[in-house]
């Protein structure tokens, strides 16, 4: 039985990856942070009673900023594969917490690689680094591929640039099986609530249910190559099953603006909207509501622009070329964008329809980024 260790197991990708590896027969260890509220909601369905004999899913407390803790967990678990998914992963928040982001996302990766080396696991443990399309930043070339130059545009992306290169360096210096998956944006019904896709699908759900008035968004012109997290975690695993360690772009090859994503999300709930006006005055307005269960009059404003959500430096356009992964890994995405949006909107409508009224205010808190 192979053993994997996942950092960031409580996050979106950690949850899908843990489920995937368990289905492949792995023993899966995950690192979770101590928090004052329980933070394992995304993996609770995988929980196994540690009192049962030989559990296959085991959680450890840890933190990417604590080297001794990481060394101890790796020593105890002796993993065949480490998936480093833990990160302060929010681009806008990284402008507010740049040093912490560098520590967890940049140095955290170094701590894991050093732990593997110091523990003499260089030739046993394969290492996956969660690299990102944010590395491309300011557009140099489209579509972006493995050879496209990097130009990071946020403290998050700069921290991830360090992590990318230190992974390459340990591969070249010590012969480690260490790879970067350069993943473009991927979403799902369990995407963090403050990333734009989930913020939109939650907003749509609350608006059609009469629990919220409108969604406030930042840059509607930004374009992203959005895939589904379930497809993308499989690519992570495939990268570690190859003969040679190499870096791969994972993307759908299609790009969509935030404005268009918003329109598609409302359409999934049966609400036709259009955008009117320009700049800060631009608004999303209801044209017609085709779902008799919801009462949204034509002309109602459901989307406004709030400059608080603009970033000091923006990444305008991402579109990935995953030809190398398609050819060498045999990977290809199964989900179409529209199907993913439907899944997200339906899931959020289900969630908010069953939420106790006393929790609605709390769950709608507007401090989203």
Of 268, 236, 262, 242, nearest to 345 by C-alpha is: 268
Q: Site for ligand NDP (CB under 6 A): which residue of 43, 59, 64, 159? A: 64
Taking the CA atoms of 55, 7, 136 and 169 in sequence, report the sign of the dihedral they define: negative
Backbone angles phi, psi at 289, to 5 degrees: -110, 115
Q: Is 4 in the site for ligand NDP (CB under 6 A)?
A: no
Output 199 or 228, the one with its CB closest to ligand GDR.
199
Compute the least distance from the CB of residue 266 to ligand GDR, in Å: 15
Binning the chain into helix, strand and coil, the percentages to the nearest 5 are: 40, 20, 40
Please state, in angstroms and rounded to a whole number, the distance separating the CA atoms of residues 103 and 82: 19
Q: Is 217 in the site for ligand GDR (CB under 6 A)?
A: yes
Residues 43, 10: contact at Cβ < 8 Å?
yes
C-alpha distances (whole Å) from 209 to each of 107, 287, 304, 320 are 44, 18, 19, 36
Please state, in angstroms and rounded to a whole number, the distance separating the CA atoms of residues 288 and 106: 48
Q: Site for ligand NDP (CB under 6 A): which residue of 21, 91, 104, 271? A: 104
Compute the least distance from the CB of residue 92 to ligand GDR, in Å: 6
- How far from chain centre, in Å, is Cα 218? 19
Active site residue 134: yes
Q: Is 317 in the site for ligand GDR (CB under 6 A)?
A: no
Stretch that binds ligand GDR, among 65-73, 127-135, 245-253, 264-272 (CB under 6 A): 127-135
Active site residue 52: no
C-alpha distances (whole Å) from 144 to each of 24, 97, 147, 322, 332 are 31, 28, 8, 9, 17
Please state, in angstroms and rounded to a whole number, the distance separating the CA atoms of residues 260 and 146: 27
Residues 6+ apart with CB under 8 A from 59: 9, 29, 30, 31, 32, 40
Stretch that binds ligand NDP, among 21-29, 57-65, 142-150, 164-172 (CB under 6 A): 57-65
Q: Is 284 in the site for ligand NDP (CB under 6 A)?
A: no
Compute the least distance from the CB of residue 221 to ligand GDR, in Å: 8
Output 7 or 256, the one with its CB closest to ligand NDP.
7
Q: Which of residues 165-204 bind ligand NDP (CB under 6 A)?
A: 183, 185-186, 192
Residues 245, 268: contact at Cβ < 8 Å?
no
Active site residue 248: no
The residue from 7, 77, 109, 132 that is catalytic is 132
Binding mask 80-119 for ligand GDR (x = CB under 6 A): ---------x-xx---------------------------
Residue ranges binding ligand GDR (CB under 6 A): 89, 91-92, 132-134, 184-185, 194-197, 199, 217-219, 222, 224, 258, 309, 311, 314-315, 369
> Would you tell me which residues interact with ligand NDP (CB under 6 A)?
7-8, 10-14, 31, 33, 35, 39, 63-65, 85-89, 104, 130, 132, 183, 185-186, 192
């Amino acid at each position: 039985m192979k053993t994997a260790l996942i950092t960031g197991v409580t996050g979106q990708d950690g949850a899908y990856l843990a489920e995937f590896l368990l289905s492949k027969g792995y023993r899966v260890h995950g690192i979770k942070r101590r928090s004052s509220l329980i933070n394992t909601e995304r993996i609770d369905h995988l929980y196994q009673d540690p009192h049962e004999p030989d559990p296959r899913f085991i959680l450890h407390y840890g933190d990417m900023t604590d080297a001794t803790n990481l060394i101890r967990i790796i020593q105890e678990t002796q993993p065949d594969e480490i998936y480093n998914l833990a990160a302060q992963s929010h681009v806008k928040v990284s402008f507010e917490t740049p040093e912490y982001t560098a520590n967890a996302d940049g140095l955290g990766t170094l701590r894991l690689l050093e732990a593997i080396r110091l523990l003499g696991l260089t030739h046993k443990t394969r290492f996956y680094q969660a690299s990102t399309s944010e590395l491309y930043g300011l557009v140099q070339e489209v579509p972006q591929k493995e050879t496209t130059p990097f130009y990071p545009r946020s403290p998050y992306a700069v921290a991830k640039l360090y992590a990318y290169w230190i992974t390459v360096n340990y591969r070249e210096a010590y012969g480690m099986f260490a790879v970067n998956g350069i993943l473009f944006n991927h979403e799902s019904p369990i995407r963090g609530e403050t990333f734009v896709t989930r913020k939109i699908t939650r907003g749509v759900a609350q608006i059609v249910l009469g629990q919220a008035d409108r969604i406030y968004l930042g840059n509607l012109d930004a374009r992203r190559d959005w895939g589904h997290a379930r497809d993308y975690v499989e690519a992570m695993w495939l990268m570690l099953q190859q003969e040679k360690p190499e870096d791969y772009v994972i993307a759908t090859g299609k790009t969509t603006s935030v404005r268009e994503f918003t329109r598609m999300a409302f359409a999934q709930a049966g609400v036709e909207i259009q955008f009117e006006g320009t700049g800060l005055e631009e608004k999303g307005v209801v044209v017609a509501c085709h779902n008799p269960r919801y009462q949204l009059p034509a002309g109602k404003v459901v989307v406004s622009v709030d400059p608080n959500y603009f970033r000091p430096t923006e990444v305008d356009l991402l579109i990935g070329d995953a030809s190398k992964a398609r050819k060498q890994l045999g990977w290809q995405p199964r989900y179409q964008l529209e199907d993913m949006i439907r899944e997200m909107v339906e899931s959020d409508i289900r969630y908010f329809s069953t939420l106790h009224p006393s929790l609605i205010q709390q769950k709608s808190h507007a401090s989203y980024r």
